[in-house]
Amino acid sequence: MRDPRTRGASRRRQLLHIPEEGDNVTYTNSQRRVILTLVNSVFDDGHRALFSRLAMALAPGCEPAYVTHPTPQAFRPRVVFVWRPLPAAEQSLLRAQHSVFFSIDTTPPLSVAHLTFTLLHFTYTAIQTHVTADYNFDPRRLPRMTHLAYHITPGPVYGIAYFDNLHHAFADASAQGLQLTPNHARPLTVITTWPPDVHELLLWAHYHSWRLMTRCNRLCRMMTFV
């Protein structure tokens, strides 16, 4: 993520109630590159090999308050995902075709570990779906995270990721998930959950979709300048 240090950028953050950089808020190019490189390496390197490095990149200095190593509990998050295709104008700007908002039902000390596993496993599953859907796939055009924004709170962790080449995974999600009507969100917006068979989680996401979309839209606006 980038942090333009200009008065205009600072003013836009204030209008959107987005905090300035500080002890708990970091907008840095170096950290962004590390996070994206680790997440996009998961299909080759595996979850466990990347887990601790990604956790520390997502929340530097968070130990010992947060778990940053793989544990059985870290591999069982409860997550709601909101998938959306991007308008054509945003696709070229963000080098992505889809956005995926996520809300993780978690609390400390597992918040960072659950976020880490969610990013790694979502990307791994997207690549796996892409590979199995097209045996003639181009290895240079696998699903790839291009941007990420997230918020670690004392309760849920939520964020938004932008992906390139996510069309096979999106088609799979559309077939299995809940498609929201235009009254709730944009057309083609899809909600899925982890675990996929937890009906109360899907019902909660449906009835609170307006809250999810509010957070999603705020992070979308944030991504235009950080």
Rounded-to-integer distance, Cα 124 and Cα 41, Å: 9
The rounded mean pLDDT for the chain is 81
Length of the chain in terms of residues written: 226
pLDDT of 27 higher than 70: no
pLDDT of 110 higher than 70: yes
Please report where in the chains the tokens 């520390």 appear, as a residue: 56
Prediction pTM value: 0.81
Tell whether 125 is covered by a domain. Answer: yes
Q: What values do phi and psi take at 168, rounded to 5?
A: -65, -45
User: 95 pLDDT band (50/70/90 cuts)?
Assistant: confident
Tell whether 1 is covered by a domain. Answer: no
Residue 19 domain boundaries: 7-222
Tell whether 159 is covered by a domain. Answer: yes
Tell whether 2 is covered by a domain. Answer: no
Tell whether 132 is covered by a domain. Answer: yes
Tell whether 194 is covered by a domain. Answer: yes
Tell whether 24 is covered by a domain. Answer: yes
Please give the pLDDT value at position 92.
Answer: 83
Rounded-to-integer distance, Cα 130 and Cα 168, Å: 5
- β strands within 55-143, DSSP E: 78-85, 98-105
The residues, any chain, with a CB within 8 Å of residue 202's CB and separated by 6 or more, are 178, 191, 193
**For residue range 116-152, what is the model confidence (pLDDT) as tens digits?**
999 999 999 999 999 999 888 888 899 999 999 888 8
**For residue range 67-78, what is the model confidence (pLDDT) as tens digits?**
999 999 999 999
Tell whether 158 is covered by a domain. Answer: yes
- Say how many domains are in the chain: 1
